[in-house]
Homo-oligomer: A and B are copies of this chain.
């Protein structure tokens, strides 16, 4: 009865007030953030039964993450590490403003999740789900996680669970060459690929018209669906040989972090609910645009809000 299972790292996200700097701040705002739980939260809020798998240190900090994900209806099934050898991953987020970029400082080394083996995770949950989702961040975190990611994708594939994977290349975690090798191990077991145009070029070496790139990838790996995200230019999906294009909904951006994950969560939730690919792209794009107006990694939205954006009945004050 589970719609979607995701697996990956979630960190505590610590950020100073707007206009202040990490170097002198007296307070930090605390939230939970991580690509795979961001997707789970978006999907859960939009009606999917979502489960997040991971490993956390057995501490108040680990529970802080669980607390926030559960608050959005996500079921959590995590291995608790009480060895005292691992940590809670954190990241510091200093909001910028041109010409000062937003500054992200990862402090995720030795996070408990990096030691996760397949045996610590409920593989039956993966088999019972309609969709299994993870991203390219997970295998990049440790050799152990690279293996665990591969195993889970294989498990899902064998059980007939649709697998979705977002390249999510992170240059602070591995080189393009390392990423390429990592991706190539995993992609044969992926059904739905999501990738930023830039990541596809940097790591997989494909460049050209997005539609051509999508076809090339689909041919090479036999994907069911390929989604290429094009930053401000929107996104494009190849499915059953057809190409669908989707623009971006304008947004007053309060916080851009998590926008891509909101897109994926919205897309998958709509697909799981019977939407076709173009409908689901629109749903994903709308979820992403709403996310931009909200503080934090998470798309704290409702289905009604997403639908209103798709139907363009938005803005203004209702009273």
Which residues in A have some Cβ–Cβ distance to B below 8 Å? 14, 17-31, 59-61, 63-64, 67-68, 70-73, 87-88, 90, 92, 94, 96-107, 109-110, 170-172, 249-252, 254-257, 286, 289-290, 293-296, 300-301, 305, 308-309, 314-319
Contacts and interface: CB of A to CB of B under 8 A. Distances in A.
A169 to B, nearest CB: 10
9 contacts: A14-B14, A18-B295, A21-B300, A22-B64, A27-B30, A28-B28, A60-B105, A87-B109, A99-B309
A70 to B, nearest CB: 5
Nearest to A255: B19
Contacts of A103: 60, 318
Q: Which residue, A29, A100, A171, A249, has most C-beta atoms of chain B within 10 A? A: A100
Given A27-B29, A290-B99, A105 B71 contact: no
Copies of this chain present = 6
A286 B60 contact: no
A106 B289 CA distance: 26
A170 B97 contact: no
A302 B170 CA distance: 24
Candidate in A26, A29, A72 with the most chain B CB atoms within 10 angstroms: A26
Contact of A249 (B21, B31, B99, B257): B99
Contacts of A17: 295
Contact of A315 (B101, B251, B286, B295): B101
A256 B317 contact: yes
Contacts of A71: 24, 67-68, 70-71
B294 A64 contact: no
A172 to B, nearest CB: 6
A317 B105 contact: no
Given A70-B70, A106-B319, A314-B101, A293 B96 contact: yes
A98 B20 contact: no
Contacts of A64: 22-25
Contact of A98 (B23, B250, B257, B317): B250
Given A27-B27, A73-B70, A319 B63 contact: no
Nearest to A104: B319
